[in-house]
Homo-oligomer: A and B are copies of this chain.
Amino acid sequence: MTGVRKKAFRASFWHCLGDPGNSIESDAAEFFEDGLLLVEDGKVSAIGPADKLLAGLSSDFELIDRSGSLIVPGFIDTHVHYPQTDMIAAYGSKLLDWLQCYAYPTERAFGDPEHAADVADFFVKELLRNGTTTALVFATVHPTSVDAIFTAALRENMRVLSGKVLMDRNCPADLRDDALTAYNDSKLLLERWHGRGRLGYAITPRFAATSTDDQLAAAGRLASEYPDSYVHTHVAENRDEVELVAKMFPQSRSYLGVYDQHGLVRERSVFAHCLHLDESDRQCMSRKGAAMSFCPSSNLFLGSGLFNLELAEQHGVRVGLGTDVGAGTSFGMLNTMSEAYKVLHLEHQPMSPVKALYLATLGGARALYLDDRVGNFEAGKDADFVVLNRAATPLLERRLAMTENVADTFFVLMMLGDDRSVDATYLMGELAHEANHA
């Protein structure tokens, strides 16, 4: 018989049911030391203590024993540039120079579909190696680059949101579109990809400084015509950039205001960085339901500044974490959580392990308005998850033998772990990546 595919995964499980706030221990998280996760046709049907669930389990469940491992929901990367994979860790500049010296030259090659496909395939595998199952992804200005990333993601059945970059000034001539092609190409790609598999389209102006008012207006028009599409851009990353935008848009109250004037601050709008905002900007984002992507390793790598999580939360703004490769220095969300902890600690805002888990999973899902689909193990959600290895290196094995609870274990994994700590990544209950062990 064909029937429903039923799987039961046995391991330790930890996931968030809500935002833990700043508390160290929280009812917002649920832990099963010896747990069972039931998956039917790729969706979670139940989670609970193994002894209880095994007792009533029907015989048509395939049992996958991951005992000894810790399973958490798949990580959600709310801001990453796939075309910058090959220029990760490029030395020496701050944002505006870095774009000119490294980003633009690299992105130029993505008009070639073969090159785009090669990088997209590598990128998707790299995300899976690191336990990322959902990502909001910048492509390049070329429509081919969007086809490439969606094709690669669809093949893996991965949840990827992406879109063509819009930029029609202040960038190399051969990387420019214009207001009309920006609108038309985006619409075509949106119609082609949005809602296919687990894909979603993101209207993607690079940032205010590389778009004319006309182009931003066209993007806003498209955003209002397709309210369930995403808007994905950058805001207030670097002080020179903020000044540049202020000069270019003198009529706008603030950098965020430029986007707001064009209807681009709305639900499903995700703004990377948000370092140099003010009270009104945060209020605006909160009121309109837009989200911030906090990209700590990138903010450190480009010397951009320190994200203020406390202020974002005081205003009730949705926040997710982003790797922001190629300015970010790791595809790994574990490493990104470690860098987030450091950035926040410098600002006297220590982030608890459960808060880190939240930001990397359910918080990211909320930022992307996907918390009805992913982010934790509630029944009905996609069974996307990461199997974490407690002994990936001699140091981790030694250190994790001493932790007394799952929060400590997870904290050590985020501080000391890397791709080796990801033993396996599952998408909708199917194995999508498994580590090679010697």
Chain A residues close to B by CB (< 8 Å): 24, 85-86, 88-89, 91-94, 122, 125-126, 129, 297, 300-303, 305-306, 329-331, 338, 341-343, 345-348, 350, 352-353, 393-395, 398-399, 402, 407-408, 411-412, 415-416, 418-419, 436-438
Q: Can you sample 25 A-B contacts with CB below 8 Å?
A: A86-B398, A88-B395, A88-B412, A88-B415, A89-B399, A89-B411, A89-B412, A91-B352, A91-B407, A91-B408, A91-B411, A92-B352, A126-B395, A129-B394, A300-B343, A300-B345, A300-B346, A301-B341, A301-B415, A302-B345, A303-B345, A303-B347, A305-B346, A306-B346, A330-B416
Q: Smallest distance from the beta carbon of A423 to chain B beta carbons, Å?
A: 15
Minimum CB distance partner of A303 in chain B: B345
B residues near A343, Cβ cutoff 8 Å: 300
Q: Which residues of B contact A300 (CB under 8 A)?
A: 342-343, 345-346
Bound-state CA distance A345–B238 (Å) is 12
| Closest chain B residue to A125, Cβ basis | B394
Q: Given A305-B346, A437-B438, output 11 extra A-B contacts at Cβ < 8 Å.
A: A85-B398, A88-B416, A91-B350, A297-B342, A300-B342, A300-B345, A301-B341, A303-B350, A329-B416, A436-B438, A438-B438
Cβ–Cβ < 8 Å partners of A88 in chain B: 395, 399, 412, 415-416
A422: min CB distance to chain B, Å: 12
- Residues of B with C-beta under 8 A to A353: 91
Whether A92 touches B419, Cβ cut-off 8 Å, given contacts A303-B348, A303-B350, is: no
**Residues B415 and A89 in contact, CB atoms below 8 Å apart:** yes
When C-beta atoms are compared, the residue in chain B nearest to A88 turns out to be: B399
Which chain B residue lies CB-closest to A412? Answer: B89
Bound complex: CA A437 to CA B92 (Å)? 33
Residue of B nearest to A438 (CB): B438
Task: Please tell me if the beta carbons of A350 and B92 are within 8 angstroms of each other in the complex.
Answer: yes
Check B346 against A303 for contact (C-beta < 8 Å). yes
Contact B436 A331 (CB under 8 A): no
Give the residue name and chain of the B residue nearest to A118 (CB): B398
> Which listed residue, B126, B301, B398, B411, touches A342 by the CB 8 Å rule?
B301
What separation, in Å, do the CA atoms of A300 and B342 have in the docked complex? Answer: 5
* Cα-based distance from A91 to B408 in the complex (angstroms): 7
- In the bound complex, residues from chain B placing their C-beta under 8 Å from that of A395 are 85, 88, 126, 331
Which among B86, B93, B346, B416 is the interface contact of A89 at CB below 8 angstroms? B416
The CA-CA distance from A352 to B91 in the complex, in Å, is 8
Closest to A300 in B: B342
How far is it, in angstroms, between the C-alpha of A405 and the C-alpha of B408 when the chains are bound? 42
Roughly how many angstroms separate A341 CA and B89 CA in the complex, as a whole number? 11
Residues A122 and B398 in contact in the complex (CB < 8 Å), given A300-B342, A352-B91 = yes
Report B-chain residues with C-beta under 8 Å of the C-beta of A93: 350
Give the distance in Å from the alpha carbon of A127 to the alpha carbon of B297 in the complex: 25
